[in-house]
Structure 1
Amino acid sequence: MTQWIDAAALDDIEDEDVMRFDHAGHTYAIYRIGADVYASDGLCTHEQVHLSEGLVMGHVIECPKHNGRFDVRDGRPLCAPVCEKLQTWPAKVEGGRILLEI
């Protein structure tokens, strides 16, 4: 059963940035791109490195270890060495808070 979880304040994330969110034994990455927020699994599918330490450029997160890139909107891999899609999760802003549907 999925539910909306309060993850953070919108102001906790700068524009074009990422933050780590841990919940129920799982790590997520939350991205802010302008007024939009996105969420994905928090670990790169290539080497299990925390994406929250990566670089956000537009709608792209670059893994800090081997520079693999994913589109944060749908998790698709954009360049080697990543080839496995990143799991994404619905995210929204309500009352200045970021909510994830997990």
Structure 2
Amino acid sequence: MGSFVPVASLADLAPGAVLGVEVDGLEIALARDSDGDVHALGDVCSHAEVPLSDGDVEDGALECWKHGSQFDLRTGRPRQLPATAPVPVYPVQVDPVTGTIGVDLSAPVTP
């Protein structure tokens, strides 16, 4: 199993919200979908190099605010142009007792 680093609290991330965090010098966008599941993606749009954490969660994707590219929350693959390259996705674990969100930076999902 990976090493999950605590990065935020579930109380800080409402369904449909995005939160930017920095972990060991790496920018991560935490996104909570409408089902309440938490996802962790690299926080830099692969097209315009702007923070994805300033975007919106919509239909299982994180939409970049600058040009509208949408990245699948589970795979990091772009669903909408102009982005064509994926962003990394990291495993997430939520402690059921404390609500602490942990991210495993050692095992990014590579589409």
Give the match for residue 93 of structure 1: 94
Query: Which structure 1 segments of 5+ residues have no match?
Result: none
Instruction: Name the SS for the 2:53 alignment partner.
Output: helix
TM-score by length of 2: 0.86
Q: CA RMSD in A?
A: 1.0
Distance 1:35 1:51 in 2: 19
Instruction: Tell me how far 1:79 sits from its aligned partner.
Output: 1.2
Identity %: 32
In terms of fraction of residues, the more strand-rich structure is: 1
Number of residue equivalences: 101
Runs of 4+ displaced beyond 6 Å: none
TM-score by length of 1: 0.93
Question: Which sits farther off after the overlay, 2-11 or 77-86?
Answer: 2-11
Distance 1:65 1:35 in 2: 25
Instruction: Tell me how far 1:3 sits from its aligned partner.
Output: 2.0
Are residue 55 (structure 1) and residue 56 (structure 2) matched?
A: yes
Instruction: Tell me how far 1:35 sits from its aligned partner.
Output: 2.8
Please show how residues 1-102 of structure 1 align to structure 2 within 5 Å.
Answer: 3-33=3-33, 34-94=35-95, 95-102=98-105
Instruction: Name the SS for the 1:11 alignment partner.
Output: helix
Distance 2:82 2:47 in 1: 7
Query: Which structure 2 segments of 5+ residues have no match?
Result: 106-111
Give the conservation status (yes or no) of the 8 Å contact 2:46–2:86: yes
